[in-house]
Structure 1
């Protein structure tokens, strides 16, 4: 396979000026070997195991040389043949902090400590237009105590071993043009299953093919597709470390795709594989889009809106699982006008949610997901809650501003009815914010006593009553919520256990069945 050669690097070689004689013998052969390579060599990279460091301070060669290197003969020698302008890189990978010293064919010295941020404490030197001749290499250790540590010297024309093979691109939410397109060479000699369970095909696992650094997430979905003339696969490592893999995105062909319904900021590392190993080496286009539409569908679609329905994030709220069949209870106003909904319990992936029933009068809605929770919420039982009882609220308010892990507040029941003596509501002092709507209100036994619904409109009271009410919040009473579930034939649990729990224990329970609801239009 002939891969695209690198054109530029972050850490280019800079010569070191030496005033006196050096203890390093450039005429000697390499302690760990000598190799002859010709430009466009294969396999690329060329790797050799060595022991790093030595007794000599590299600083004797001049700035910016640091660390400790071997005296006398080099660790490794490369005899390089080239007739054109090819970028040649030398890199080190080790469990310890390494440095690098190279004497090039012209006799000039080059040094490096840390090549780039992605490489951590690994050293690297790149010659952007490498000359033919002999390169003598010393691999050092930054700390004297690490001398003798195992290291691997890597020689490559494709870039640093920790960097993506075909590039990195930064994209911000609502990027233009959409889709972003990059060309990669698909496949490799490694089974994609070694990256993560569920991945198929063959890739080069040593490093990703491409990195997408995504920012300003929140309004749209983020999708990645690969399209080529061979059967391709896709593996994507999300910023949180989770893996997402696909073979065929739809029934129209053999092109893969991965969609993130609620993308987050960070780096999405992409491996483009082939289903059959013999197909490796083919050029494939990688597409990144916020429209949710694969490129092969977009080309055949009639002119229409730039974004597919259900891809623009409109609002958010909270809901909670009330059955082992995946039913989610929330507010009507949370789901009103949404063309698509997702539900996400903390620590899990977002799942699609569909509307089964909704009642604007009591402001409740019932959603259905494919989740099968082991511990859905349990109701406390009507008539248990009293004036002055403590209540706890858990939810996901102010999406993008407050903690994405959920927020917990507590207070007391301050009234057993809502505005104008509305008996379908109860009033509480537990603080709520936009985004809490639809979340659970729990008593001190940890069971459901209501559903968060609204807070008092302070602007109205300031304008019409010349008063500034504080901490006046409302929830749909448990009895109304249970009646709504009964009407829709949902099998939920009512607990008779009245053991009081610490609030921290209540929070842990709530995190298991409460989730973030995202509304897309």
Structure 2
């Protein structure tokens, strides 16, 4: 018997195999409609137990041949019928996969799931468990989603179950992941009414569309967005088991949903993308997971370059900025944002927001940004004079991705009242700075702004032109240059009313964290 089946089923005896009973089809990843369903007559006269692990009775030729290309995350085969059926699949590598009863929810219906499918030919046989039930009607479902009976189960109160396997599998991401955003094309919607969950809307599948295992959260928010030409909804079951839902995110989103976690926890996030109308189910949608802003806010007013649908603009660099007005104005260096197609600003514990360039001056190396933020702005030192030896404190975000994402504090003294070549617009200081500190605040012991970090001495220049190595030559733009720049742009900034009492460095650091943020430059 095994030799007989081998002649009919083995790819090594393809010339002996009969033509597929119900023909051949071609599908590629993210096919629509999903599921692809074919009505067939199950069973046959051949005993399938000659194929290891298989049961039932099948025809000598495959019932269907699938030529599958451009695999996505999952490929599944299921059978639904009133009779007890079995399923046999021979994959592109020639391996056999068999099933009788897939799970308790499916009853006697079989299923075979390929979590990481290969491209190529899949030969499929639908058998009957009993020989006497051969040629009974059955539906073969080919899908990248879940089992068809999961969408028809009405035994649960909501039928939306985070314990089910995700339709598009599982992913692992950690804080500061790249590329950002993570992007996935999915078929949205389903037959389950999401309004059974409080404050939720739309229609979704029983199983999550995607499961995210998120680790090592950074100080950035974790945001989920869906973008499509149809009206979509978004549902997330977070690490604590709480439900989060959104229909239209607001702003420029139109009918696109979004859910933002400003202080994300590590753990499992189960994600459903729904359609507001049941009739739009299985429409193609882009799902974004990002620590940045929404894709529809992906271009700033100083650029005509759109958000790149293939994965977003590339991170070109980073710097520091600080809030100087209650209206959300941000001061930084010109060289931090120069040539950026887009820039974001993020204060620790808050979501990153897009920042618009209002003014930029290369001569002073200062730039003024605006963003939708609300926080207590920094206070400038006002009329207080700066003396040689005064203590300074610097806060910023140097070497993003390597040093602490919570910010970095250094302190030192004013070591000179001018910069290179006696530049009186600069201060020299011993507080250490690194790439990424640029644009950050330089504060006195009262926590007031006395300068803006701008540069370190060019080691290569001194080595080549002066024949010497330099160490710890750091410079800041003096506060009167910064305030003049703000006044030129009609910005109402805060100044100290008089001489203020000294604070502890810890208190200064705590205050600086509330008005200082990291600037990410994208091109």
With normalisation by structure 1, the TM-score equals 0.58
Q: How far apart, CA to CA, are the structure 2 residues paired with 1:40 and 1:250?
A: 45
* Per-residue deviation, 1:447: 0.5
Structure 1 residue aligned with 2:201: 201
- Spell out the pairing of 1:301-380 with structure 2 (5 A cutoff): 311-373=313-375, 375-380=376-381
Per-residue deviation, 1:468 = 1.9
Question: 2:239 & 2:338 partners in 1: Cα distance?
Answer: 31
State the 1:189 CA deviation. 4.3
Q: Distance in 2 between matches of 1:239 and 1:518?
A: 28
CA contact (8 A) 2:183 2:311 kept: no
1:282 and 2:281 equivalent? yes
Deviations 1:316-338 (A, max 9, x none): 11100000011100001011111
- Residues 116-163 of structure 1, C-alpha deviations (whole Å, 9 max, x = no match): xxxxxxxxxxxx9xxxxxxxxxxxxxxxxxxxxxxxxx9xx9997175
Paired residue for 2:186?
Answer: 182
Deviations 1:294-318 (A, max 9, x none): 8xxxxxxxxx996689822211111
Q: Helix, strand or coil for the counterpart of 1:273?
A: strand
Cα RMSD between the aligned structures?
A: 4.9
Gaps of 5+ in 1: 5-38, 42-77, 89-127, 129-153, 295-303
Instruction: Provide Cα deviations, 1:202-226, integer angstroms capped at 9, x if missing partner.
Output: 46799743125689999xx997435
| Residue 403 of structure 2: aligned partner | 402
Correspondence for 2:503 among 493, 496, 501? 501
Which secondary structure state, in structure 1, belongs to the residue aligned with residue 234 of structure 2?
Answer: strand
CA distance in 2, matches of 1:328, 1:376: 9
CA distance in 2, matches of 1:414, 1:424: 15
Alignment of 1:46-125 (within 5 A): 82-86=107-111
- In structure 1, the residue matched to 2:272 is 271
2:194, 2:204 within 8 Å by CA — same for their partners in 1? Answer: yes
CA contact (8 A) 2:223 2:258 kept: no
CA distance 1:200–1:247, shift in 2 (3 Å): farther
**C-alpha distance in structure 2 between counterparts of 1:192 and 1:492, whole Å:** 50
* Residue 412 of structure 2 corresponds to residue 411 of structure 1: yes
Alpha-carbon spacing, 1:459–1:266, altered in 2? closer, same or farther (3 Å): farther
Shift of the 308–337 alpha-carbon distance from structure 1 to 2, 3 Å rule, reads farther
For residues 431-489 of structure 1, the C-alpha deviation after alignment (integer angstroms, 9 at most, x for no partner) is 11111100000000000010000011112222222222211100000111111111111
Structure 2: segments with no counterpart, 5+ residues: 1-33, 36-78, 82-102, 114-146, 148-155, 297-305
Count of matched residue positions in the alignment of Structure 1 and Structure 2: 364
Match of 2:166 in 1: 164
CA contact (8 A) 1:379 1:448 kept: yes
- Asked if 1:461 corresponds to 2:462, the answer is yes
Please name the residue that 1:425 is paired with: 426
SS across alignment from 1:247: coil
Does the 8 A contact of 2:332 with 2:368 survive in 1? yes
For the residues of structure 2 that align with 1:428 and 1:252, how far apart are their CA atoms?
Answer: 46
What SS does the corresponding residue of 1:329 show, helix, strand or coil? strand
d(CA) in 1 for partners of 2:187 and 2:341?
Answer: 34
* Superposed displacement of residue 275, structure 1: 3.4
Asked if the contact 1:321–1:513 (Cα under 8 Å) also holds between the matched residues in 2, the reply is yes
1:29 corresponds to: none
Give the CA deviation at 1:192: 8.7
**Contact 1:395/1:440 (<8 A) preserved:** yes
**Alpha-carbon distance change, 80 to 174 in structure 1, aligned in 2, over 3 angstroms:** closer
Residue deviations 1:33-81 (CA, integer Å, cap 9, x gap): xxxxxx989xxxxxxxxxxxxxxxxxxxxxxxxxxxxxxxxxxxx9998
Q: Please state how far the C-alpha of 1:267 moved relative to its aligned partner.
A: 6.8
Q: 2:105 and 2:236 mapped to 1: Cα distance?
A: 36
List aligned pairs for 1:117-266, cutoff 5 A: 161=163, 163-164=165-166, 166-169=168-171, 173=178, 180-186=184-190, 188-191=192-195, 194=198, 200-202=200-202, 208-212=208-212, 224-225=225-226, 227=228, 231-235=231-235, 245-247=246-248, 254-256=255-257
1:158–1:165 contact (8 Å) kept in structure 2? no
The whole-number CA distance in structure 1 between the counterparts of 2:482 and 2:437 is 17
